[in-house]
Amino acid sequence: MNRHQHFQDLHQSGCFIMPNPWDIGSAKLMAFKGAVALATTSAGHAFTLGKPDMGHVSRDEALLHAAEIVAATKLPVNGDLENGYGDAPETVAETIYLAGEVGLSGASIEDTTMQADAPSYPFELAVERVAAGVKAARDLGRPFMFTARADGVLIGAYDMDEAIRRAQAFAAVGADVIYVPIPPDMADLARLCASVDKPVNGLAAGPYLHHSQADFAAAGVRRISLGSSIARASHRVMDDALSAMLNEGSFAPLQHSISGSKIDKMLS
């Protein structure tokens, strides 16, 4: 089946997990372990470039990375394209056209400005940006799941009521998936799911790591992504191992690694 159609079909029922690779090797490993779809992670990718998250990676860099992840496996890939790499709705549309050209099966666009003094776009502009992205996705002429993100709760710019107001407006202008990262609790996530008639993406990060896939499904979530959680877990291993060896002369943390032959099998 066409990977783009498959990605669209995954959103029709159930609750699936969509892990986030940060390079070709991690994408191949996730596919080997049974992932049904993948998504890029802006933070995880930024780490590989020696950069922090939130607006430090260019659109060209992000799209080149997305193309590499698409080529790494036969799985559909959703692109984490931050705020679309510009403020104007026309820029968001251009980014979606380019996302289609590199083979992505969908993409997420945030309502964040990347500016500390005014971190979220005003409501009306945020909706216009989503509408422009939706139109571009439709213009591609093939299945493309456009995800509209309301990130104000995550970054402390607005509350859950405003997130739901934005989610409903994003759904009304045609967003295929709604995404509000890290609502205060699972009850708020369930309230979000009940407030829109579109699939909702849940993020397994922070306090939500204490919940299971079944918990997300019970709340009404259709898709669970990991963001940079797995990439940061790998950095935890490096941090622990390097601290032990360089501060204490101990290599004990490296006893938890897996064999090179097992890695070779997963990547081949």
The pLDDT of residue 136 is 98
The pLDDT of residue 74 is 98
Percentages of the chain per state (helix, strand, coil), in multiples of 5: 50, 10, 35
Burial readout 202-225 (b: 16 or more C-beta within 10 A, e: otherwise): bbbbeebeebeeebbeebbbbbbb
**The amino acid at 162:** E
- What integer is the mean pLDDT of 221-249? 96
CATH number given to 3-229: 3.20.20.60
Tokens of 76: 């559909």
How far is Cα 167 from Cα 13, in angstroms, rounded to an integer? Answer: 20
Q: Residue 268's pLDDT band (boundaries 50, 70, 90)?
A: confident
Q: What is the pLDDT of residues 253-264, one digit of tens each?
A: 999 899 999 999
| Closest listed residue to residue 143, CA positions, set 71, 77, 60 | 77
The pLDDT of residue 52 is 82
- What integer is the mean pLDDT of 107-133? 96
How far is Cα 259 from Cα 123, in angstroms, rounded to an integer? Answer: 51
Residue 267 vs residues 27, 170, 220: alpha-carbon distances, Å:
9, 39, 34
Per-domain residue ranges for the chain?
3-229
On the question of pLDDT at 226 being above 60, the answer is: yes
- What integer is the mean pLDDT of 151-174? 98
On the question of pLDDT at 39 being above 60, the answer is: yes
Question: Residues 198, 171: contact at Cβ < 8 Å?
Answer: yes
- What integer is the mean pLDDT of 153-181? 98
How far is Cα 190 from Cα 177, in angstroms, rounded to an integer? Answer: 15
- What integer is the mean pLDDT of 3-31? 98
Q: Residue 1's pLDDT band (boundaries 50, 70, 90)?
A: low
How far is Cα 130 from Cα 126, in angstroms, rounded to an integer? Answer: 6
- What integer is the mean pLDDT of 140-169? 98
The pLDDT of residue 116 is 87
How far is Cα 219 from Cα 235, in angstroms, rounded to an integer? Answer: 30
Q: Is 51 exposed, middle or buried (0-12, 13-18, 19+ CB in 10 A)?
A: middle
The pLDDT of residue 230 is 95
- What integer is the mean pLDDT of 195-220? 98
**The amino acid at 80:** D
Q: Percent of the chain, pLDDT > 90?
A: 95
| Closest listed residue to residue 78, CA positions, set 175, 154, 7 | 7
Neighbours of 244 (CB within 10 A): 15
The pLDDT of residue 8 is 98
What is the residue-wise DSSP string for 5-50?
HHHHHHTSSS-EEE---SSHHHHHHHHHTT-S-EE--HHHHHHHTT
The pLDDT of residue 51 is 87
| Closest listed residue to residue 98, CA positions, set 82, 79, 125, 75 | 79
Quote the mean pLDDT of the chain: 96
Tokens of 267: 């990547």
Q: Residue 32's pLDDT band (boundaries 50, 70, 90)?
A: very high
On the question of pLDDT at 56 being above 90, the answer is: no
